[in-house]
Structure 1
Amino acid sequence: MRPMLIAAPTLEPVSIAEMKSWLREDSSDEDQLIQALIASARMTLEAYTRRFFITQSWRIIFDAWPPGGDVIVIPFAPFQTVSAIRIYDASDVALALAPTSYRAPASSEEGRLIFRSAPPAPGRSADGVEIDFAVGYGGLATNVPEPLRRAIMMLVAHWREKRGDDANDPLPAAAAQLAAPFRRWRLN
């Protein structure tokens, strides 16, 4: 399985105005830095929690269907929907699977793709199956749970204040505590 980002979030969970208010910053001198820190904090906390905050589109590519092909786990959370499934034949022509041939219920955890009957096998030996899907809490900043938004603000404030001076504390305890209830753990 190879994941590929198709469409990144169109906005951040915390706006520049909200962040500047939190920082008590009136000047626009550091707006570019603050915006970059917001995106970096979101991405850091997404990695820490193993969740995506704002709706974004991804594609996973398989050479062939995974074993036990009736149900495929999509290990991204929160899972919203599957937008397309393509199977490539030996001539590299894509066959779009009909949405009526599978279910992909939304979930606050990882996604599950459940086939009504076995899907056709791909005809090419590499990159034979593509699944496009959306993940995230929603398309609005207000869809993101408030503790995660506060964790972003705390992390941005920490990084802005320290300016890289504290390399041993990449995720301050207060931000980690806010994000901890949302963290997905690996079972392997």
Structure 2
Amino acid sequence: MALALTSGPAVEPVSLAEAKAHLRVDEDAEDDLISALITSARSWVERQYGLALITQGWSFYLDRVPDAGAVALPLAPLQSVESVTFHAGDGGTSELDADGYAYDALSNPARLVFKSVSGGASLRRLNGIEIAYTCGFGDAADDVPAPIRQALLLLIAHWFERREPVPAGGEPPEVPAMVAGLLAPYRQVRL
């Protein structure tokens, strides 16, 4: 299984002005650093919690249809499934009609269920099925839940104040407990 970003977020969930106000920074000298910290904090939260904060396009690749016919999509919240494409071993592709699958955006993780699938034997051996989907809380920063936005601001401040490098092979410093607490309701439970 592989996951590939096809269209990234158009905006960050926290603006430079919001982060600077939270940090109480009035000068412009640190703008590049703060902007990088905003992007890094968003990326860290998305990676750690299996989320897409702002609307993003992704392709999820499978080698074959799972025996149960259901696929858990790795990022939440799911907005829509755009297409399901089969990649043949000879280089050709075919798109599954929307009637051939259903998806459940309310589940966590979201699921796609194949209603009927034919031609599985002719799929290429690696990444033969591509599920293109859109996920995220919405297009604007205000669509992201307030606790997540607050956690981002706290994480940005934590990293801004502690600029020490992580030794090679070492563990990065833990995030503040308040950040983890604000994000806890958004953690996907894996059994």
- In structure 2, what is the equivalent of residue 170 of structure 1? 174
Please state how far the C-alpha of 1:165 moved relative to its aligned partner: 7.0
The secondary structure found in structure 1 opposite 2:66 is coil
- In structure 1, what is the equivalent of residue 108 of structure 2? 109
- In structure 2, what is the equivalent of residue 87 of structure 1? 86
Verify: 1:182 aligned to 2:181, yes or no. no
Aligned-residue sequence identity (percent) comes to 38
The secondary structure found in structure 1 opposite 2:120 is coil
Task: Give me the whole-angstrom Cα distance separating, in 2, the residues matched to 1:122 and 1:80.
Answer: 31
Task: Give me the whole-angstrom Cα distance separating, in 2, the residues matched to 1:35 and 1:73.
Answer: 33
Provide TM-score, normalisation by structure 2.
0.88
Task: Give me the whole-angstrom Cα distance separating, in 1, the residues matched to 2:67 and 2:116.
Answer: 15
Task: Give me the whole-angstrom Cα distance separating, in 2, the residues matched to 1:155 and 1:57.
Answer: 25
CA RMSD of the aligned region, Å?
Answer: 2.0
Matches within 5 A, 1:41-60: 41-60=41-60
Structure 1: give runs of 5+ residues left out of the alignment: none
Provide TM-score, normalisation by structure 1.
0.89
Please state how far the C-alpha of 1:135 moved relative to its aligned partner: 1.5
CA contact (8 A) 1:62 1:128 kept: yes
Amino acid at match of 1:68: A
Moved segments of 4+, more than 6 Å: 165-168
CA contact (8 A) 2:82 2:132 kept: yes
User: Do the aligned partners of residues 148 and 119 (structure 1) sit closer, same or farther apart at CA in structure 2, a change above 3 Å counting?
Assistant: farther
Amino acid at match of 1:178: L
Structure 2: give runs of 5+ residues left out of the alignment: none
The secondary structure found in structure 2 opposite 1:104 is strand
Verify: 1:14 aligned to 2:14, yes or no. yes
Task: Give me the whole-angstrom Cα distance separating, in 2, the residues matched to 1:88 and 1:38.
Answer: 37
Task: Give me the whole-angstrom Cα distance separating, in 2, the residues matched to 1:97 and 1:168.
Answer: 43
Please state how far the C-alpha of 1:108 moved relative to its aligned partner: 6.0
Amino acid at match of 2:162: K
